[in-house]
Amino acid sequence: MTPLLDIQGLSASYGRAQVLFDISLQLHPGEVVALIGRNGAGKTTTLKAILGLVIARAERLAFKGQSIAGLPTYRIARLGLGYVAEDRRIFTDLTVEENLEVGRQAQRAGRSPWSRERLFGLFPNLAEMRGRRGSQMSGGEQQMLAIARTLMGNPDAILLDEPSEGIAPVIVQAMAEVIRAMKAEGVAVLLSEQNWAFAAAIGDRACVIERGTIRFAGPMADFLADEALRAETLGV
Amino acid sequence: MDLSFVAIQALNGLASASSLFITACGLTLVFGVTRIVNFAHGSLYMVGAFTAATLVPWMLELWFGPVSFWLGIVISALIVGLLGVVIEVLLLRRIYGAPELFQLLATFGIVLVLQDLVVQIFGPQDILGPRAPGLRAPVEILGRRFPSYELVLIAAGPAVLAAVWFVLRKTRFGTLIRAATQDREMVAALGVNQALLFTGTLFLGAFLAGLGGALQIPRVAANTGMDLSIIAECFVVTVVGGMGSVPGAFLAALIIGQLQAFGILIFPKSTLVVVFLLMAVVLAIRPYGFFGRPEILGGTHAVGIASRKPMARGTLLATIGIVLLACLPLIGDPYLLKVATEILVFALFAFSLQLLIGVGGLVSFGHAAFFGLGAYGSALTVKWLGAPMEAAFPAGLLLAALGAALIGAFVVRLSGIYLAMMTLAAAQILYAIAFQWVEVTGGDNGIVGVWPSNWVAGRSAYYLLTLALTVITVLFLKKIIESPFGYALRAARDSEPRAEAIGIAVRQQRWLAFILAGAGAGIAGSLYAFSRGSVDPSLLGIPTSVDALTMLLLGGIQTIAGPLAGSAVLHILRDQIMPLTSLWRLFLGLSIIGMVLVFPRGLVGTIRQWGEDRA
C-alpha cells in the first residue's frame, strides 16, 4: 500500500543550527502515527517542515503520491493535509463559527464532508458557544475548536501538534476520543506528543525522535515493550 | 458665537470627517492585512480626484443628471481599485517580508512615480470638478445656508462604515481578512490563498482611497499636492484610531473633523496644531491608539550597525580623505565647491539619521523636521534679531534639539511603524506651520538674506567651514555610536524587552538619541540655510526626509561611512540626470523601488544572506 504521506531524508535548519537530520516517516490512510519525543527534539519542526512553514530539504516529500516539496502552504493544505498548531492559534477576535468558516474548504471526492452541524455533534460543547469569541474560551475549548476548524477543510490527514499540552486531564480524555472518532472517519493522524502514555493509548505506530533524528519506528506494542528505549530517549 | 454658527461648524466638521474616514479606512484595512503602511495611499486618493474630475464632466456631457455624476464617481474609484491591484501584484507582493523601512521607502517610490504620471496624464493644472446635479442649491439650516453636497458627504462616511462592517463581518472574504489580520501563517495552513486575499484587500483599500478622492471634486480642485497632505492626515487618523481598526479610524476621523472645524476659531492659521495636540494626548494615554493593539505592529526592522573590527589604518585613511577634501578649494571651480558643500551638508544630515535608524532601530520618517528647524532657527534669528551667523548657528542647533526633545518625548513611547508615521506627521505639522504662519516665516516664499559673516563669505571659506563642522559632528556622533550609550541603543534595537531586563532605560536612551540626532540635523540645516542664503518650507517637507532615507539606503545602513557615500551618490546622480529629463521623480521612484526589490535586506544583509546560503 502506498503511504498517504511519505517523508524521506528530511532536514531543516534555523539559520546555521540544523535541527532535523534525515528524518523519514510514513503515514498510511486511516492510521494514527505518534511522533514521540522530548521538548526540543524536533517534533514541531518536522510538522512545520512538511507544510512548508519552515524551510527544509527532503529527498522525498509527497502527499497522495504527489510531491509537495516547495509548494506554497495553502496548496499543500488544499490537497487535504490539515494542520493543528501546537499553540492552537485560534483567531481570538473571531467567533467559534467564524473560526470554522476560515477552515472551510470544498469537500473531497469519496468522503462525506464535515459540516458545522456534524462537527458540533462531535464537539457538543462548541455547539453551545457558537457566537463566543476565541479569546473567551478555555485552553481545552480552544484545542477542540482548533481541531474542528481543521476538519472543516475535509482533510485526509491531519498533523496534530501536542494536543494534550496544557489542558486539563479530563479534556485529554475527550481529546483521545476525538482522535479515535477522526480515525473512524478514515482521517489519518500524525500526532506529535511528549506524553507517551497518551500517544500509546491512541497510536497505531510510534516514531521516537531525539535531537532531530528518528531513533525508533515501529508498532506501538514494540515501543511499549522497550523500556530501555523509553528511559534513554524520554527519560521515563 | 450663536447656535446656528456652532451647528454649521459642526456639520462642516462632520463632512470633512467623512471624507477623511473614507480614505483612512482603506489605509487601515490594507495595513491590518498586509502589515504594510502604504505611503502611496494618498497618491491613490489623488488619482481618484484627477480621474473623477476628468471623467465626470465627460459623463455629464453624454447625459446630464445625477446618475452620470455618481456613476462617474464610482467608476473612478473602481479604476483606482484596479491600480491598487497592479501595485500589489507588481510590488507589494514582493516586499511583505521586508523590513518596514524598505516597505515605506518602496511605497514612497510609488508616490514619486505617480506624481510624475499624474502630471503626464492629466496635465499640471488643478482641475475643479463639476458640482453634483440636483445638489447645487444650498439648504437652509437654522437660518444659514449650507451646501447640500456636504450633507451627502456627511451621510457617505457612515454608509461606507456600514458597508465595510458588512463586508468584514458578514462575508467569507471579510472573515478571512480578519483572520489574516491576526495570524497570516495559520490562515495559509488552513488552505487559504493569501495572495488572492491580499490582492482583494488592496483592491478594496485603493477603491476607498479613490472614492475619497473622487468625492472631493466639487469641493476641492484636484491638484498635485493633495497626495502628501492627505497621507499625513490619514496617518494621524489611523494612528489615533489604532492601526488596523476600522471603527477606530471612524472615531478618530470624527474627533479630528470637529477639532479642525472648531480649531479654526482658536488657531485660524494652523488647525493641524490642534490635531497634533490631540494626537499627543491620545498617544500619551494609549500608545496604540483607541482600538489598536500592541501585537499588531509592522514587520521587522532592517539590519543596523553591528560591531566590526576597526579597519586597519582606518584613521589614516580617514585623515587622508579629510585632507583631500580640504584641498578641494585649490581646484577653484565655484560650481564644484557649491556641489561639494551641499554633499557635505546632506552627508551630515543623513549621518544624523543613521544614529536613529542604524543604531537605534528607530525608523524616523520625519527627519526633515530637525533639518528644517535648524535652518529656520538660524534664518529667524538673522531676520528678527539681526544676529550674525555666529549667533544664528547655535540658535538653529538649539531649536532643532528642542524640537527633537519635544517630538522625541512622545514618539519614543512608540516603535516600528507607529514611530515612522508619527515622526512623519510631526514633520508635516512643522511644514504646515512654516507654510501658513506667513507673518513670521514668510510662508511659501520663506526667508531670504540669510548670508554668512564676512570671514566665510567666499565659497572656499564657507566650504571649509562646512567641512570642519561636518567632520567634527560626524566624529562626535561616531564616538557616541561606539560608546556604551551606542551599545545600549543597539541592544534596545535588537530586543527591547531584553534591553529593559538588563536595566537599560530604553525610552530615556532613545529620547537622548532623538535629541542628538536632531541637533546633528539642525547643524546641517543651519549650514544649508547660510550656503543658499534662504530657507523655505520645502526643507521641512516629506521629500527632504525621504532624501535622507534614500541616501542611507544607497550607502547602506549598516556602516558608518554609508550615509556619507550615499549622499555623494544621490547628489551626483541628481545633478547628472535632472537636467536630462522632466521625469526626475519617476526615475528616482523607480530607482528606490529597484533598490528595495534587489536588496530587500539592505546591501550588507544581502551579502550576509549569501554567506549563510553558501555555508
Quick check: A93 and B181 CB within 8 A?
yes
Q: Based on the structure, what is the number of domains in chain A?
A: 1
Higher pLDDT, B453 or B213: B213
Is position A120 within any domain?
A: no
CA distance B42 to B232: 8
Cβ proximity of B283 and B414 under 8 Å: yes
Question: DSSP states of B488-510 as a string?
Answer: HHHHHHH-HHHHHHTT--HHHHH
Spatial CA neighbour of B304 closest among B487, B471, B474: B487
Does the pLDDT at position B555 exceed 70? yes
Domain range for B555 is: 314-580
Contacts of A73 in chain B (CB under 8 A): 185, 188-189
Contacts of A105 in chain B (CB under 8 A): 190-191
User: Where does B123-225 have alpha helices with state H?
Assistant: 148-170, 172-182, 184-189, 194-214
For A105, nearest residue in chain B (alpha carbons):
B191
Quick check: B191 and A105 CB within 8 A?
yes
Q: Which three cell numbers stand for residue A158?
A: 491531519
In angstroms, what separates the C-alpha of A68 from chain B's closest C-alpha? 14
Instruction: Provide the pLDDT confidence category of residue A148 given band limits of 50, 70 and 90.
Output: very high
Instruction: Provide the pLDDT confidence category of residue B303 given band limits of 50, 70 and 90.
Output: low
Is position B413 within any domain?
A: yes
Q: What pLDDT does residue B268 have? A: 67
pLDDT, one tens digit per residue, over B465-496 is 999 999 999 889 889 988 999 999 988 888 88
Domain range for A206 is: 5-89+155-234
Torsion of CA B7, B8, B11, B17, to 10 degrees: -120
Is position A193 within any domain?
A: yes
Average pLDDT score, chain B: 87
Quick check: A72 and B188 CB within 8 A?
yes
B603 CA to centre of own chain: 23
Instruction: Provide the pLDDT confidence category of residue B236 given band limits of 50, 70 and 90.
Output: confident
Q: A82's torsion region: left (phi>0), alpha (psi -120 to 50) or beta?
A: beta
Is position B409 within any domain?
A: yes
Q: Which residues contact B179 (CB under 8 A, 6 or more apart)?
A: A91, A94, A98, A99, A102, B186, B187, B192
For A54, nearest residue in chain B (alpha carbons):
B185
CA distance B131 to A220: 79
pLDDT, one tens digit per residue, over A23-77 is 999 999 999 999 999 888 899 999 999 999 988 889 999 999 999 998 999 999 9
Is position A100 within any domain?
A: no
Higher pLDDT, B461 or B22: B22
Is position B369 within any domain?
A: yes
Contacts of B612 in chain A (CB under 8 A): 15-16
Instruction: Provide the pLDDT confidence category of residue B89 given band limits of 50, 70 and 90.
Output: very high
Is position B77 within any domain?
A: no
Q: CATH number, domain at B324?
A: 1.10.3470
Q: CATH number, domain at A83?
A: 3.40.50.300
Is position B185 within any domain?
A: no
Chain A, chain B: beta-carbon pairs less than 8 Å apart:
63
Instruction: Provide the pLDDT confidence category of residue B606 given band limits of 50, 70 and 90.
Output: low
Quick check: B615 and A153 CB within 8 A?
no
Cβ proximity of B491 and B359 under 8 Å: no
Q: What pLDDT does residue B435 have? A: 86
Nearest to A150 among B176, B190, B194 (CB): B190
Which range of B153-162, B177-186, B224-233 scores highest in mean pLDDT? It is: B153-162
Torsion of CA B476, B479, B485, B486, to 10 degrees: 110
CA distance B490 to B488: 5
Is position B197 within any domain?
A: no
Spatial CA neighbour of B10 closest among B301, B322, B261, B307: B261
Spatial CA neighbour of A6 closest among A69, A52, A55: A69
Q: Which three cell numbers stand for residue A32?
A: 494514527
Contacts of B189 in chain A (CB under 8 A): 51, 53, 73-74, 77, 83, 85
Instruction: Provide the pLDDT confidence category of residue B611 given band limits of 50, 70 and 90.
Output: low
Nearest to B190 among A15, A16, A102 (CB): A102
Instruction: Provide the pLDDT confidence category of residue B298 given band limits of 50, 70 and 90.
Output: very low
ipTM of the complex: 0.92
* SS3 at position A161: strand
Is position A148 within any domain?
A: no
In angstroms, what separates the C-alpha of A169 from chain B's closest C-alpha? 27
Instruction: Provide the pLDDT confidence category of residue B359 given band limits of 50, 70 and 90.
Output: confident
Q: What pLDDT does residue A109 have? A: 67
CA distance B196 to B191: 12
Mean pLDDT across B312-338: 81
CA distance B222 to B242: 29
Q: What pLDDT does residue B22 have? A: 97
Mean pLDDT lowest among B14-18, B329-333, B386-390 = B329-333
Contacts of A77 in chain B (CB under 8 A): 188-191
pLDDT, one tens digit per residue, over B189-229 is 999 998 899 999 999 999 999 999 999 999 889 999 899 88
Nearest to B185 among A53, A94, A153 (CB): A53
Mean pLDDT across B410-421: 80
Q: Based on the structure, what is the number of domains in chain B?
A: 1
In angstroms, what separates the C-alpha of B160 from chain A's closest C-alpha? 22
Mean pLDDT across A205-233: 89
Contacts of A149 in chain B (CB under 8 A): 190
Question: DSSP states of B235-295 as a string?
Answer: HHHHHHH-TT-HHHHHHHHHHHHHHHHHHHHH-SS-THHHHHHHHHHHHHH-TTTTT--TT
Is position A17 within any domain?
A: yes
Is position A104 within any domain?
A: no
Is position B28 within any domain?
A: no
Q: Does A53 touch chain B (CB under 8 A)?
A: yes
In angstroms, what separates the C-alpha of B343 from chain A's closest C-alpha? 39
In angstroms, what separates the C-alpha of A228 from chain B's closest C-alpha? 37
CA distance B307 to B480: 14
For A74, nearest residue in chain B (alpha carbons):
B191
Contacts of A92 in chain B (CB under 8 A): 182
Question: In the 8-state DSSP scheme, what is residue A95?
Answer: B
Q: Does A112 touch chain B (CB under 8 A)?
A: no
Nearest to A77 among B182, B191, B612 (CB): B191
Contacts of A51 in chain B (CB under 8 A): 189
Mean pLDDT lowest among A17-21, A183-187, B558-562 = B558-562
